[in-house]
Each structure stands twice: as structure tokens, then as C-alpha cells.
Structure 1
Amino acid sequence: MARRNLFQPPPPPSSADEVAAGELKPRFPNTGAMSGVKSTLKDLSSNAVREIPADLIEEDGPRDRLAFPDSDVASLAASIKEHGQQVPIMVRPLADKPGRYKIVYGRRRLRALQSIGLAARALVRTLSDEEAILAQGQENSHRLDPSFIEKALFAAQLSDNGYDQPVILDALAIDKPMLSRMTKVARTIPETVIHMIGSAHGVGRRRWEHLADKIKDSNADLVQIASDLGLDKIPTSDDRFARIVDAISRSDKAASPTKSSPHMIVSDDGKTFAEVKDSPRALTVKMSKVDTPEFTQWMLDNAEVELKGLYEAWKSDQKFG
């Protein structure tokens, strides 16, 4: 079955042929005052754009955009004031609040209309939560595409709000591997920091994933680092992203101990038979197959037994102080 196109008007009432065939029986005659009532009801269920006071429209629900800059809202408000609202928003009635509506898409336009006190030109649709999310995603596919991080946050919000995976995939027009990548980034990077950075349209998936990986491997307080950078003074979100990455790298470098030189182990007869290297993540023992090939092979054959013996000796030392 084809998916319902949420941007098309509902199908018109059954034709006269269907009525004549007995498939649909008219309840009222098409004459006089009743005809006018029927026309009005038909208009309400059609694709007609209605004017709704902006203060009757609520904005809560999953968002597919980060915060709008005040300058963008002011610029759009000035344009609407001069030329009118050219593109309608979409809303759906709130069943538990008669006379009030919930935004489906067009939040920036609604914010601009609210700022200048004008009613909103809106398409009114009775949609389920899933249909509303799909409409939101479809509308964005026809307009400025959200950045990767905006989509990632949107996907995480939908998941947190209990939407099924197929709905999220359809709303964002992505596949399961991409959803997994988006969710990983949105769950790893603190949302506070993402909002400090902004939409970053010039930063793609790979760079966001790289930042998420750096955060997972770091003990640094990313929120504190971002707060100390004065990001609000950096004009573009792409530059704010770059500043965050640079700060994390410098923090990790400063926190890492100076790399120690390998410790060479020399036998009584003067042969260097092993190299021990200490790092923040591992203690590595490297043995030369060139200088002491027989001993290296013996160690390979007996490593499990010898290492277990050393481990038990260490436990004994711990037990008796």
C-alpha cells in the first residue's frame, strides 16, 4: 500500500456514480441551507489554508532544528510584515484542548509571527503522532536540509519519545546504519555542548563521529571546556566546532604523562632479550626473534604457564603484605 502523502488534500467525497451505485447514501439533500452547511464542512476538511491566532499554537514536541538565532527570526518577521506570510505552516488540533493547536512544521515562521502579533496562515491536519513526525520530515526534504547534528538530535528525541524505528527511518529518510551512527553521536556528545556549537552545516558526519570518539577516550569535562572557550564570541558554528575539537586535543595532550623510554632487559651474559614499554593503556613486553630466537620461542610456548606463575606470586605478595 502506498504511503499517505501528508502534503496532499484529503480525497474528495465519493462521486455521484458511487452514490447511485448504492456505495454511499446521501444523508441530506443538496439544496438550500443544508447545502451551505455541507460546503462549509467540506472546506474545513480540504486543503484550504486557515488563519489561526499565533498564541493558540503550541510548540512542544521533537525538534528537528537547533535554536533559531534572534537575528533570523527578526529578519523573517520583517519580511512577513512587508510581504505577508508566503508559506503556510502546518498544525494539528489538540484533542484535549479544544480550540488550540500543536505545530507540525514551520516553527521559525510561527516564532516570527508571534513576535509581530500576526495570525498564522496554517494547514490544519488531524494527524497521529507518527503521521506528524513523517510530515515534519517530508517538509524538511523540500526545504533547507538540517545539518547532520540536527538530524542526530532529532533522531535521539524521537527514540526517547518512544517512536518505533521504522517511523524514525522514514521521517529522516535514512537507513539503520546511519541511524546507529546518529544515535551514537547524540548520546556521546553532551547536548549542552551541541547547543553551544550550533547547527554547523559545514561539519559532516565523519567529523562529528571523530569528536564523539575523542570524548569517549577522554576524561576531560567537555561541558566545562566548552564553557571556558567563550564560544558565544565566535561568529560561526563551524568555527565553534573546530575550537571545541582543538581544545579537547590540547586537554588530552596536557593530561597524558610524558611517554617513558622503553626499558631494555639485559641478561648476565650481556644479551638484550626483552624490551618493556609502559603507556597509559598497556604494559608491552617485546622480545627479539633476532637476538634471542630460541628464548623467544620458548617464551611463546610457555607464556601462559609462566605468566600465571607470576600472577600467583603477585597475589601471594599482596596477601602477606
Structure 2
Amino acid sequence: MARRNLFQPPPPPDAAAAVSSEDSKPRFPNTGAMSGVKSTLKDLSSNAVREIPVDLIEEDGPKDRLAFSDADVVTLAASIKEHGQQVPIMVRPLAEKPGRYKIVYGRRRLRALQSIGLAARALVRTLSDEEAILAQGQENSHRLDPSFIEKALFAAQLSDTGYEQPVILDALAIDKPMLSRMTKVARSIPEPVIEMIGSAHGVGRRRWEDLADKVKGSNSDLIQVASDLALDKIPASDDRFARVSDAVSNSAKAAKATKPAAQKVMANDGKTLAEIKDSPRALTVKMSKVDAPEFTQWMRDNAEIELKRLYEAWKSDRQSD
């Protein structure tokens, strides 16, 4: 079923009369969040725009875009000064703060208006948190064409804020598998690193997932690695992504090359009893079923007892020290 557009006014009465009785049935039930969305559609059809002082509008809430540059704001501000604000923002009243509003969408436009001291042309809608997220997500998909990583961060923020999965899926117009992929990437790569890279519109899901896998298997401090790359001197965010990806790959190769060899434990009779591997995450003891099969079987049967005995001996040594 096609997704309803929150920003398209309903047809005029004479066109609506021509629709069959089957087609004129409500698309959504008059209950729950969809009832609120229908109310939003009714409000939007009036196209009423108000002028609101920018200092009365608050900007907190989930962000659907990575930080826009000062140059973007300056360019937009110059355009608004010359041609006026062509596209209104959307705000909703704050019930706990009469006379104040919260941004729903249009953060870059609001920032530009703040920089030149002009009031904002705004659609004012009384929306619940869920309805505001649906409106924000749909407006972005129609106008902004956010990149994969911007959508991934937005999805993770909505999840962390407590929005239910159906609301997130509707806001981003995605399915459950895609939401799972986005969440994995957003949680694997530190947000400061993503902000240093930028929106990277030319980098698709697969490359972001590859980077997330590399990060997961790396022991490096990715924030420090990215900071050392002087990414602010690289103009294109796609190139910044490539630089970070290459650095993570090189770091993993270097770590593998310097990885210490396994330590062999030899018995007095020359048999190899075990190999011990030490890594930042685990100490692994690998016993050979070829060189000492009977001892290996005995250790398997008595491992719990022997490990507890060694642990108690270790504690006793610490106390005596």
C-alpha cells in the first residue's frame, strides 16, 4: 500500500466527489497515532503560515542530518535576505512553556534566520512526539535526500529516545532488515568519527557495513585514529570516509603483523601439552589431541576442578603478599 504524503493537501470538494465510495473510505483508522496524523493532514491543508521570532524556537530532539557547515548557513542566509524564506519550517507548541515552540523540521533554515535576525515563517502544528517524528522523516525523504549514515544515526537516536519500532520504520520509510543494518553501523562506529567524516552521500550501505566490521575486529582507538588523519583538511566527505577506512585496515594489518607467536608448553618427555595465545580480549589455551590425547581428555574431565584450585592458589598468593 502506498505511503500517505503528509505534505500534500487533500483534493478539492468537486474532485473528492468523483471518487468511488470504496476509494473514499478512510485510509487510516480513527485511533492511535494514525488519528493524529489525519489531524495533521487537516491542519496542513489550510496552508496557514505564521511568523515567529527565532528566539522562541528550541532546537533539541533527534537530528536527521549531520551538522551542516557554517558555509551552508551563510549561503542560505544570503539567499533568504535576497529572496525571502521560500519554504516554511514546521514547529509545534510546547505545552509546558506557553509561547515557545520546538522545531519539527527546517533546522538549517532556522539557523540561517537566526544568523540574520529574521523571524521564521513557520507552520505551527500541535503534534505528539510520534507524529512529529513521522512529519520530520517524511519531509526529509521528500526534500533532503539524506545519506545512509544520516538515516542510520537518526534511527539509532530514535531508538535510544524510546520510540517504538513501527514509528521508526514509518519515519524513515524502511523495513526491519534495513533498520537492523542501520542500527548495527550506527552503534559500531563512534558518533564523533561519523561527524568527522560527514554525510558521505557517495558511500552506500555496504561500505559503511564493511567499515563497521573492521572497527568491530580492531583494537585501535578509532576516535584517536580519525583525529590523527586531519580530516578537516579533506574537502569531500567521501574522501574522508576512504581515508578512515584505509587507516582502520592498515591498523588491523599492523596489529596482525606484530601479534606475538603462541607460547608452547612442553612436558619433560618432550611432548607438546598446549599452546597459549594471549590477546587483548582473551587468554586461550589450546591442547593437542595428537601429542597428548590422554592428558587432553583428563584435562577436559577435570578442567573445572583444576581451574578452581589454581584460582584459590592465586588468591592465597595475593593475600600472603
CA RMSD of superposed structures (Å): 3.9
Is the CA contact 2:52–2:122 (under 8 Å) kept in the aligned structure 1?
no
Is the CA contact 1:54–1:113 (under 8 Å) kept in the aligned structure 2?
no
**SS of equivalent residue, structure 2 residue 92:** strand
Within 5 A, what are the aligned runs for 1:221-260? Answer: 221-256=221-256, 257=258
Q: Name stretches of at least 5 consecutive residues in structure 2 with no aligned partner.
A: 13-42, 265-274
Q: Which residue of 2 aligns with 1:141?
A: 141
The two structures have a TM-score, normalised by structure 2, of 0.71
Is the CA contact 1:47–1:123 (under 8 Å) kept in the aligned structure 2?
no
Q: Which residue of 1 aligns with 2:47?
A: 48
Q: What percentage of aligned pairs have identical amino acids?
A: 73
- Once the 2 structures are TM-superposed, how far is the Cα of residue 144 of structure 1 from its aligned partner? 2.9
One-letter identity of the residue aligned with 1:48: N
- Once the 2 structures are TM-superposed, how far is the Cα of residue 277 of structure 1 from its aligned partner? 12
**SS of equivalent residue, structure 1 residue 61:** coil
Q: 1:201 to 1:284 in 2, by over 3 A?
A: farther
CA distance in 2, matches of 1:97, 1:259: 61
Q: Which residue of 1 aligns with 2:271?
A: none
CA distance in 2, matches of 1:223, 1:98: 41
Q: 1:254 to 1:165 in 2, by over 3 A?
A: same
Q: Name stretches of at least 5 consecutive residues in structure 1 with no aligned partner.
A: 13-43, 264-275, 289-295
Q: How many residues align?
A: 284
Is the CA contact 1:54–1:114 (under 8 Å) kept in the aligned structure 2?
no
Is the CA contact 1:85–1:121 (under 8 Å) kept in the aligned structure 2?
yes
- Once the 2 structures are TM-superposed, how far is the Cα of residue 302 of structure 1 from its aligned partner? 12
Runs of 4+ in 1 over 3 A off after TM superposition: 1-6, 8-12, 258-261, 276-288, 301-305
Q: Which residue of 2 aligns with 1:89?
A: 89
Q: Which residue of 1 aligns with 2:214?
A: 214
CA distance in 2, matches of 1:77, 1:303: 74
Q: Which residue of 1 aligns with 2:117?
A: 117
CA distance in 1, matches of 2:160, 2:143: 26
Structure showing greater radius of gyration is: 1
1:122-144 per-position Cα deviation (integer Å, ceiling 9, x unaligned): 21111111111111111122113
**SS of equivalent residue, structure 2 residue 235:** coil
The two structures have a TM-score, normalised by structure 1, of 0.71
Q: 1:9 to 1:129 in 2, by over 3 A?
A: farther
CA distance in 2, matches of 1:194, 1:183: 14
1:13-45 per-position Cα deviation (integer Å, ceiling 9, x unaligned): xxxxxxxxxxxxxxxxxxxxxxxxxxxxxxx99
Q: Which residue of 2 aligns with 1:268?
A: none
Q: Which residue of 1 aligns with 2:151?
A: 151
Q: Which residue of 2 aligns with 1:98?
A: 98
Q: Which residue of 2 aligns with 1:35?
A: none
Q: 1:122 to 1:237 in 2, by over 3 A?
A: same
